[in-house]
Amino acid sequence: MVSMTAALLLAGVAVSQVQAQTATVTDLVGTWSSKSNSTMTGDGFYDPINEAFTEPAHPGIAYSFTADGFFEESYYRAVANPTNPKCPQGIIQWQHGSFSKDADGSLTLKPIKIDGRQMYSDPCSYKHSVYTRYNATEQFKRYEVVTDGYHHIPRLTLFKHDGSPLIPLYLAYSPPKMLPTTTLNPTATATAAAGKVKRGDLPMNHEVVYKRTPGMERAGMMWWAGLFLTAGGGAMYFFF
């Protein structure tokens, strides 16, 4: 029979381990954005009610984490086409869900599958931007939070599953700027599966939500204008 003293000691060790893990995870809490400081999480990037994105001024990425295990991420990538400058491509992605830290220090981000969204644009292949569902579980081998020696603010580096680093992210908001962590679109929209869509209609293997979202014609004009302006030089903000 375990003595009361031993039981208290064991309980103390267990509590200390939980506290240590919590203390380690809480260094992630906040909204972290790439150097351009333009792409953020929250309702300024994605509007789940109107199913619409707001294009950032520059390409970039952002991640937000809460102390109780939720995350949100925003991606905006503009890809220039040197051989045909009239054909820049753009991808906007958003998803959220829960994350966990494993004993080996790795992070696993599990999105709410029906909530994630992606908009893909290629003016030389598709007449309109293609708006689809998007979800991708992410595994980071480890992460590192340090004080940046140049900017003098916290800097987060996420290391991908192969050990290569993602671009540095800098603390933009604490507490994080996020949409609600619960399911935002609980009713699935009946749409065609990727495998049944006519060739050329769907660029990526995700379920189509809308070929043209409400207001997409006007938004599409703004999207193309933004791409032409950012694809050439804006990518520099993303990588440096």
Dihedrals φ, ψ of 129, to 5°? -65, 145
Q: How far is CA 22 from CA 70, 99, 222, in A?
A: 14, 13, 44
User: Please, which residues have CB within 8 angstroms of residue 214's CB and are 6 or more apart in sequence?
Assistant: 50, 51, 52
Give the residue with greater pLDDT, 187 vs 82: 82
Q: Report whether pLDDT(6) > 60.
A: no
Does residue 117 lie in a domain region?
yes
Q: Report whether pLDDT(224) > 70.
A: no
pLDDT attached to residue 151? 87
Does residue 93 lie in a domain region?
yes
Give the residue with greater pLDDT, 125 vs 50: 50
Average pLDDT over residues 204-215: 43
Q: Which two tokens stand for residue 55?
A: 């294009």
Categorize the per-residue pLDDT at 129 as very low, low, confident or very high, splitting at 50, 70 and 90: confident
Cα–Cα dist 68/52, whole Å: 28
CB contact at 8 A, 174 and 37:
no
Q: Report whether pLDDT(27) > 80.
A: yes
User: Please, which residues have CB within 8 angstroms of residue 160's CB and are 6 or more apart in sequence?
Assistant: 139, 140, 141, 166
Least confident of 110-114, 163-167, 190-194, 206-210: 190-194
pLDDT over 70 percentage in the chain: 68
Residue 102 has, within 13 A of its CA and on its CB side, a CA count of 9
Average pLDDT over residues 127-146: 92
Give the residue with greater pLDDT, 28 vs 205: 28
Task: State the pTM of this model.
Answer: 0.71
Does residue 238 lie in a domain region?
no
Q: Report whether pLDDT(113) > 90.
A: yes
Average pLDDT over residues 199-221: 41
Q: Which helix (H) or strand (E) holds 197?
A: none
Q: Report whether pLDDT(205) > 90.
A: no
Q: How far is CA 107 from CA 13, 21, 23, 203, in A?
A: 24, 13, 15, 29
Average pLDDT over residues 205-219: 42
Does residue 182 lie in a domain region?
no
> What SS3 class is residue 163?
coil
Q: Report whether pLDDT(31) > 80.
A: yes
Q: Report whether pLDDT(190) > 70.
A: no
Does residue 1 lie in a domain region?
no
Alpha-helical segments (H) within the chain: 4-25, 216-230, 235-239
Does residue 178 lie in a domain region?
no
CB contact at 8 A, 90 and 77:
yes
Number of structural domains the chain divides into: 1
Does residue 77 lie in a domain region?
yes
Q: What range defines the domain where residue 76 resides?
A: 35-173
Does residue 179 lie in a domain region?
no
